[in-house]
Homo-oligomer: A and B are copies of this chain.
Amino acid sequence: MPRAVRERQMLDAAVRSFARHGYQTASMDEIAELAGVSKPLVYLYLNSKEELFTACIRREAEALLAAVAAGVEGRELPPDERLWAGLLAFFTYAAEHPDSWVVLSRQARTQGEPFATEASRMREEIAVYVAGLIGEAAREAHGAATITERDVTALAQALVGSAESLATWANETPGVTAKEAAATLMNFAWAGLGNLMKSERWSPR
């Protein structure tokens, strides 16, 4: 079996193990077993539990960003539909990869260094991407002149924070679908609480 395939199997097994037991408790024995390989091979390929965990954080963050980008890019959409497509892609990814979401949103941040720094670097990359989308939308819309670069950065931070928080809640709350979570955030972020209170919801055209 090619090395790349074996490595992927090891990372898949590791994400599952880290999500379920946490970094400290997850064992290299279980990861090797889940991956269907010997423990020495895991060490040969990934060096140490620390490097394995770091590789998981990177791979999962990149996959998440790719999923969101795939939902948004390459289509001509008005700004609200683009946000909706991005949110739907994000919540769908988090719902379909709950272990990945636990590793990124919780394990990576709660296991101390060097993982917290790695996780915050990845999060910053996502915030910059989201700021790009908001800035683009603002330039296309009437309000462009009144929204500064700093506004855009701040709004991206607010949007990323609300999405993280809501994805964790959605994954932990029985019966909440990705679409429902995305719709809640779309209404919060696009229509705003002011309109929601007047029953003026955002809805797709």
Contact = CB atoms under 8 A, between A and B. Distances in A.
Interface string A178-205: 0001001100111111111111111000
A116 interface: yes
- Chain multiplicity (copies): 2
Contacts of A113: 22, 110
Contacts of A66: none
A127 to B, nearest CB: 8
A26 interface: no
A161 interface: yes
A47 interface: no
A169 B157 CA distance: 7
A51 interface: no
Contact of A165 (B141, B160, B173): B160
Nearest to A79: B197
Contact of A158 (B157, B162, B173, B201): B162
Given A80-B194, A142-B197, A189-B192, 11 more contacts: A83-B193, A110-B116, A146-B199, A157-B162, A157-B168, A158-B185, A159-B162, A161-B161, A164-B165, A188-B189, A192-B194
12 contacts: A110-B110, A110-B112, A134-B193, A146-B199, A153-B169, A154-B170, A154-B181, A157-B169, A158-B162, A158-B189, A188-B192, A190-B194
Interface of A: 22, 24, 79-80, 83, 106, 109-113, 116, 134, 137-138, 141-143, 145-147, 150-151, 153-155, 157-166, 168-170, 173, 176, 181, 184-185, 188-202
